[in-house]
Structure 1
Amino acid sequence: MADSSVEPSHGEDDVRVVTEPADGLGMVVADPAGYQQAVAALAAGTGPVAIDAERAHGFRYSNRAYLIQLRRQGAGTVLIDPIALAPGTGPADFGDLDELIIDEEWIIHAAHQDLPCLVELGLVPGHIFDTELAGRLLGYPRVNLGTLLEEFFGVRLLKEHSAADWSKRPLPRDWLNYAALDVELLIDLRNALAERLAETGKDEWARQEFEFLATHSTDPADVRPDPWRRTSGIHRIRNRRGLAIVAELWRARDEIARRTDRTPGRILPDATIAEIGALKAPTQQAIRDLPAMNRRGARRYEANWLAAVDRAMALPETKLPPLHRHADGPPQQARLWAGRDPIAAARLAAAREALAARAAELTLPVENLLTPDYLRRLAWRPPEPLDETTVDTFLDTLGARRWQRELVVPLITPLLLSPRGQ
């Protein structure tokens, strides 16, 4: 669309399919000279910057950006290929672009998905407007970009390239059109959502949420203990030796995936790892006889898999992983609470019920009213002494925003003290 504002849609009959940018593809940057021209064009523009990134999820191990899309009033759309700009020894230098836009508002859809790969390139936001999060706060049942654009402007985007391998080069023209359309209406969508947030009295909630996103954009990702325990199919394994095989195979696959920048499942599927771990006698021949081992990727690294199994089989009993990892924190599944702490289970159930009712009144997903993990931690081991002040401090320390605490602390503190009126 052109930079002029777009009028909201007024019904299903107004919906139209858009396959190409209305004002052309814009600048496609794949060399240093083009990059400098793009920065100059964006500098000549005004107002916030719409930004998006395309990754190769499902094809590559890394979470790196393979295309960056930017759009600004008066500058049009700019598509930057960070791979073409990268020297052989590392990522491209986007310092001048970051300096240009760091103090501007970034309009981004689902910031939690794209910020890590942008920060990896040195692009760190100072201010954010997340259109997906705004949609959640407004209570829209579906908040993907296409649905919101259709809701507000009667525009339907074709999403056939959303799961494409963006590490492919050269990028086809229709892929670039798709990428450009992802930012073409973001500024208009931001304005429409901001107006609706103000009308519903939720603009301050959004401001706090966006500030939290920007402030924590460079936080390191949480590292899960024993990540191999999330291997699909691991539930079939009933002994510690089998778990050790899964762990060693997972680590071997992860090393190969990291080194080759390929998604792990395309090297050796989870199901195959679990199948090997479940073998009663995991001999070399038994492993080779598995149908999945006939796949090219599995055969190519056969020596690595056999070595991993040998390492697991050589472990003494004292070094084998436990069947279940007992964490100090609360169980993830509520059904397990009653067996471990019935009183905590009652606290959790009562608080959940109250939060669900309040969220419905506010036309808000309950997980946006209070992060479920925060509630679990609070209900499992409440602070002492238990009152509104200590509960507020507890949630503040975890990261709950002020607007959330103002709504939930008076609501759930009495239930933590006496769940269900006990």
Structure 2
Amino acid sequence: MAEHTVITTRDDYLAAVDAIAAGNGPIAVDAERASGFRYSQRAYLIQVFRRGAGTFLFDPPAVGRFDELNAAIADEEWVLHAATQDLTCLREVGLDPHTIFDTELAARLLGMPRVGLGTVVEELLGIHLAKEHSAADWSTRPLPEPWLVYAALDVELLPDLRDAIAALLDEAGKTEIAQEEFADELARDLKPVRAEPWRRLSGIHSVRGIRNLAVARELWLSRDELAREIDTAPGRLVPDASLTAAAKAMPETKRALAGLREFNGRASRTEIDRWWAAIEAGRTTTDLPVMRGNGDTLPPPRAWADRNPAADARLKAARAAVTALSEERAIPVENLLTPETLRRVAWAPPAEITAESVGSALADWGARPWQIEATSQIIAQAFVEAHQNAADTAESDS
């Protein structure tokens, strides 16, 4: 295969499969999407490198399914950087590893302050890796040669990086922790279905009034439908700020909508009838949204002192203990235990506080065994101490 040639034909793809299968060691994999340009999160370039085989750049829209490649390498270890960003689009074309080594996640577990690929490669391998094309529109055809050079380097350095990080994990006694985290990434649902995705609209919190919220919802849904239809990132059609401005202004006429200074974007004028129809639908619908999203969302921690003082005390005590442990073990606190998990257990703890009951509660919220082993005892102790301090304060006040 010529250097930096993109594989687009079936014959070249099958030849690449044979070559990769004949290589040795782990398989480095990366994918490039067109986030910010396209609606879909599909892969527009997939890069594969294996020692003894070389580097292969595939054009997924041209190749289609990668079932043969997956059958050849699924049982091998795949090396990715920030795997959760790529696994979904890889699975869409039939690439689904059984074992991974995530160099970005491993770098986090090692306590490295910056974990971007370029930074980690430079620190551990001493190679400067330019990242100027990371936000490019990878749906562009043909892909420029400098982009292909960049894409190839992304995978060619991964096996060496994996070996350097694996040695550091072993030295720090964190190999088993990393393996649990990698397995969790593979098992995780990376495409959770949101009940009301329109509530992700930036600035939605500033929209007051149920009817205004209904208009914001209809505008978001209408934009999302158009974006999906033409495979363009929604924000490139009409920015979020334009939709929230229209929802807050509630223009009385189509002309007034078109005259809104904030209502701008590629499709704000050409699709004015669409946006006006959405506003009218929001004005007249009987299916009114509630002011807050459905679900079991917890109140923000700043409100806990008033709404649930006991939970507030538990959270503050446990958070301090987990933070101290995070520093001691050189693991970022969010990797040691997610803040959401700690908040859940602090808000509604087990009836009887023990390390075992807290550990069970943590498991219910998705904590991994190593996280439970590391934190359940200190969280239980923090909860007990918070309760005792509250009791002592109440006794002294009486």
- Whether the TM-score (by the shorter chain) exceeds 0.5 is yes
2:18 aligned to 40, 44, 48, which one? 40
Higher RCO structure, 1 or 2 (CA under 8 Å, sep 6+)? 1
Residue 388, structure 1, aligned to residue 355, structure 2: yes
Which residue is 2:36 aligned to? Answer: 58
Q: 1:177 to 1:24 in 2, by over 3 A?
A: farther
Does the 8 Å contact 1:69/1:183 carry over to 2?
yes
Which residue is 1:4 aligned to? Answer: none
Which residue is 1:360 aligned to? Answer: 327
Residue 48 of structure 1 aligns to a residue whose secondary structure is strand
Which residue is 1:343 aligned to? Answer: 310
Matches within 5 A, 1:238-253: 238-253=208-223
Residue 304, structure 1, aligned to residue 282, structure 2: no
Which residue is 1:274 aligned to? Answer: 244
Which residue is 2:196 aligned to? Answer: 226
Residue 267 of structure 2 aligns to a residue whose secondary structure is helix
Which residue is 1:399 aligned to? Answer: 366
Which residue is 2:47 aligned to? Answer: 69
Q: Distance in 1 between matches of 2:322 and 2:263?
A: 49
Q: 1:141 to 1:421 in 2, by over 3 A?
A: farther
User: Cα deviation per residue 1:191-249 (whole Å; 9 max; x = unaligned)?
Assistant: 00000111111111111111222233xx3522333222232223332211111110000
Using the TM superposition, give the Cα deviation of residue 292 of structure 1 relative to its aligned residue in structure 2, in angstroms.
4.6
Does the 8 Å contact 1:149/1:189 carry over to 2?
yes
TM-score, normalising length: structure 2: 0.93
Using the TM superposition, give the Cα deviation of residue 258 of structure 1 relative to its aligned residue in structure 2, in angstroms.
1.2
> Aligned partner of 2:339: which letter?
P
Residue 146 of structure 1 aligns to a residue whose secondary structure is helix
Q: Distance in 1 between matches of 2:310 and 2:218?
A: 39
Which residue is 2:205 aligned to? Answer: 235
Q: 1:295 to 1:403 in 2, by over 3 A?
A: closer
1:80 aligned to 58, 65, 77, which one? 58
Does the 8 Å contact 2:45/2:58 carry over to 1?
yes
User: Cα deviation per residue 1:48-88 (whole Å; 9 max; x = unaligned)?
Assistant: 10000001010111111000001001001111110122xxx
Larger displacement relative to structure 2 (346-355 or 411-420): 411-420
Larger displacement relative to structure 2 (100-109 or 319-328): 319-328
Matches within 5 A, 1:192-231: 192-216=164-188, 219=189, 221-231=191-201
Q: 1:227 to 1:338 in 2, by over 3 A?
A: farther
Q: 1:359 to 1:209 in 2, by over 3 A?
A: same
Residue 184, structure 1, aligned to residue 159, structure 2: no
Percent identity (aligned):
50
Q: Distance in 1 between matches of 2:378 and 2:265?
A: 56
Larger displacement relative to structure 2 (290-299 or 180-189): 290-299
Using the TM superposition, give the Cα deviation of residue 294 of structure 1 relative to its aligned residue in structure 2, in angstroms.
5.7
Q: Distance in 2 between matches of 1:189 and 1:377?
A: 36
TM-score, normalising length: structure 1: 0.88
Q: Distance in 1 between matches of 2:208 and 2:214?
A: 11
Residue 52 of structure 1 aligns to a residue whose secondary structure is strand
Does the 8 Å contact 1:276/1:282 carry over to 2?
no
Q: 1:26 to 1:42 in 2, by over 3 A?
A: farther
Does the 8 Å contact 1:350/1:420 carry over to 2?
no
Which residue is 1:10 aligned to? Answer: none
Using the TM superposition, give the Cα deviation of residue 300 of structure 1 relative to its aligned residue in structure 2, in angstroms.
2.2
Which residue is 1:5 aligned to? Answer: none
Residue 373, structure 1, aligned to residue 335, structure 2: no
Residue 330, structure 1, aligned to residue 302, structure 2: no
Residue 105, structure 1, aligned to residue 77, structure 2: yes
Gaps of 5+ in 1: 1-22, 86-91
Does the 8 Å contact 2:215/2:247 carry over to 1?
yes
Residue 140, structure 1, aligned to residue 112, structure 2: yes
Aligned residue pairs: how many?
389
Q: Distance in 1 between matches of 2:104 and 2:234?
A: 29
Q: Distance in 2 between matches of 1:212 and 1:281?
A: 48
Q: Distance in 2 between matches of 1:267 and 1:78?
A: 34
Q: 1:413 to 1:406 in 2, by over 3 A?
A: same
Gaps of 5+ in 2: 390-398
Using the TM superposition, give the Cα deviation of residue 328 of structure 1 relative to its aligned residue in structure 2, in angstroms.
2.7
